[in-house]
Structure 1
Amino acid sequence: MCRAACALAAFSAFSAAPAQDYPSRPVRVVVPSAPGGGFDQVGRVLAQKLGEQTGRVFVVENRAGAGTLLGTQLVARSAPDGYNLVVGGLSNIALNMGLYREPGYDSLADFTCVGLVVSHSYTLVARKDLPLASLAEVIAFARANPGKLNIGTSGPGTGQYIGAAIIAALTGVDIVKVPYKGAQPVYQDLLAGRVDLFYDNTTTTRPYVESGQVKALAVSSRARAPNMPQVPTITETGVLDLEMETWFGLFAPARTPRAIVERLRAEVDKATASAEVRSRLEMGSGRSLRMAPAETEMFVKAEVAKWTGLLRRAGIQPE
């Protein structure tokens, strides 16, 4: 019995050793998108703070390509040693599971969530001279006039496109999707009156709303945005029951040693306890996320199931 206990103690000490020494070299944080935007902001804020806390360098590596597939695939296939991490979010962790037949990874089987840190809502905005004052009026007009309204999108696979498609599909209306390469060209045409609607993240839409250049019809979060309390949620409008937020966190390959994952979780939790870090992640309109590991796991599983189902209901078939 003593021999077994000693063996167990030795094994435990051996297992804990990598975590005690971790990190002993630079840690790669892959951002599966180009510089700028939500993924990049989260990656850089966390990398800087984790580096300060551990005394080691956390290197941000932008790996854009095929939407968010390329960078996410890279980490899924990397050594599960704690030195390869990826910024995960609604797009690459949940939406891609329903958008692609063979995404090259399984979000639930190939990754462990180190921690979720922030969530941002979307806001449906309209050109300021559109003679429709609410989401209910937009849907009623679109139902009576199929194809007469249009909405700018940033391309298939983005939250902007998916949100617009789901709202139209679940309400049974025909709103023409106009594809753009990025959000800024959409705003140029929205302000010029060439586009009727745009469904974009609240952080980006807020300055346009506050300056009166566009009008906000509804936010996608379960509660109203603190900085735009006058704007109802989509559910509050009575048009449909939909909650959509683009969330972000840090993920590691699934077989990363538990002790290292726990060390990373502790460091991320310490980082997000900082008011300065939370402010940089929230960017004025987001809300901080701090969950226990079990709660995080349930949340990610629920999001994958939810969006895979909603994509099918919206008629969006995997490529």
Structure 2
Amino acid sequence: MRRLALLASLSLMVAVAPAAAQDYPSQAIKIIVPQPAGGGFDTVARVLAEKLAPRLGQGVVVENRQGAGTIVGTQAAIQAPADGYTMLLGGLSNIALNPGLYPNLPYNPLRDLTPIGLAVSWSYTLIARKDLPQQTLVELFAYARANPGKVTYASAGRGSGQHIAAAVTEHLAGVKMVHVPYRGAQAAYQDLMGGRVDLFFDISSTARAQVDGGTVRALAVSSAARQPFHPDVPSVAETGVAALDMESWFGLFVNSATPPDVVARLRRELAAVLALPEIRDTFARTGGRVMTLDADQTQALIRRDVERWTALIKGAGLTETGN
């Protein structure tokens, strides 16, 4: 009798599991953003949440969980039940840069997370104070090579994307500059525009307004190719000073144990949202490029970036507290 009861129970579980996946979602879904409200992470999450909600038939709520860089929020998403009701807004920093920066990172992005999809990417723009004597990146790095430690660059904090972009470029170019970390981009801009620091490698979406306003000068972009909104600004690689290819991407992730049917549903809905003309227009206005990769291409890009940036960060001798 016990054996029959056990078999009946197992049969019921097998019958109920697909039904539960078919009924998904039956409640609100949460997107955890591992950064404060108002930044790039948060903006992408809110744009996607607004369009995903009607397609999923449930509310999609953005929850900001900042702390320890991006680690607190990322961990919170990984530790949530693997049922598809908690997603993570993942970006280059918490997925691909952190493994190289933190020797004891409490998560493995390739093992612990499954990508729903990458949504949008932005280049970084290397900007200089208006009165910097050198007019091009080639001239500037020639000066920096002849005068080690005389050129300064700002960042929004150690380990930030701005820091990594500049430090890796510095390393690849074989020059020595001085890193000046700030508590956020706003403070960095104040000193850059005031002439107290020479350079800032900021995300292009925010750098663009300052460049267009004439308060700073654009020297190069971090992507392999030029950006449409900066057609006269070369890429770092194009100048020949360093073989840099860096774009900051953002996308949605879930716990790797999430049922495949739920992952498939979320992937379909995200793809449909990214195909909307208004989504493309929204991101394009700030220089963002909507990404249209399938699941295999997404996995390959993420794995490539984790491996590539881990090697570059370690090669440059960077840690969350050093350089």
| 2:3 aligned partner | none
| 3-state DSSP of counterpart to 1:177 | strand
Task: Give 1:73-88 correspondences, 5 Å limit.
Answer: 73-88=75-90
Displacement after TM superposition at 1:279 (Å): 2.6
Aligned to 1:280, what secondary structure does the other structure show? helix
Q: Where does residue 280 of structure 1 map in the other structure? A: 282
Q: Which of 295, 298, 302 is equivalent to 2:297?
A: 295
Residues 29-58 of structure 1 show CA distances to partners (whole Å, capped at 9, x for unaligned) of 100000011110111111111112122011
Rounded to whole Å, the distance in 2 between the matches of 1:15 and 1:85 is 20
SS at match of 2:38: coil
- Asked if structure 2 preserves the Cα contact closer than 8 Å seen for 1:97 and 1:103, the reply is yes
Instruction: Report the equivalent of 1:309.
Output: 311
User: Contact 1:170/1:313 (CA < 8 Å) preserved in 2?
Assistant: no
Q: 1:245-277 CA distances to partner (integer Å, 9 max, x unpaired)?
A: 110000000000000000000010111111112
2:230 matched to 1:228? yes
- Residues of 1 paired with 2:284 and 2:21: CA distance? 30
Q: CA RMSD in A?
A: 1.7
Give unmatched runs, 5+ long, in structure 1. 1-9
Instruction: Supply the distance in 1 between the matched residues of 2:286 and 2:313 (Cα, whole angstroms).
Output: 29
Equivalent pair of 2:165/2:222 in contact (CA under 8 Å): no
Tell me if the contact between 1:18 and 1:260 (Cα under 8 Å) persists in the aligned partners: no
Q: Does 1:47 align with 2:45?
A: no
* Range with bigger deviation, 245-254 or 216-225: 216-225
Q: Does 1:21 align with 2:20?
A: no
| Structure 2 unaligned regions, length at least 5 | 1-11
Q: Secondary structure at the match of 1:94?
A: helix
Paired with 1:242 and 1:227, the residues of 2 have a C-alpha distance of 19
Q: Which runs of 4+ in 1 moved over 6 A?
A: 10-13
Q: Deviations over 1:139-174 (max 9, x none)?
A: 110111111111111111100011111111222212
Task: Please give the alpha-carbon distance, in whole angstroms, between the structure 1 residues aligned to 2:284 and 2:260.
Answer: 29
Q: Paired residue for 1:6?
A: none
Conserved 8 A contact 1:118-1:249: yes
Indicate conservation of the 8 Å contact 2:222/2:235, yes or no. yes
Which of 39, 48, 66 is the aligned partner of 2:68? 66
Report the Cα offset of residue 179 of structure 1: 1.3
- Contact 1:19–1:263 under 8 Å retained in 2: no
Query: Corresponding residue for 1:3?
Result: none
Residue of structure 2 in register with 1:266 after alignment: 268
TM-score between the two structures when normalised by the length of structure 1: 0.94
Select the residue among 157, 176, 182 that pairs with 2:178: 176
- Over the matched positions of the two proteins, sequence identity in percent amounts to 50
User: CA offsets, 1:183-224, max 9 Å, x none?
Assistant: 111111111111111100111111111122111110011211
- Secondary structure of 1:116's match? strand
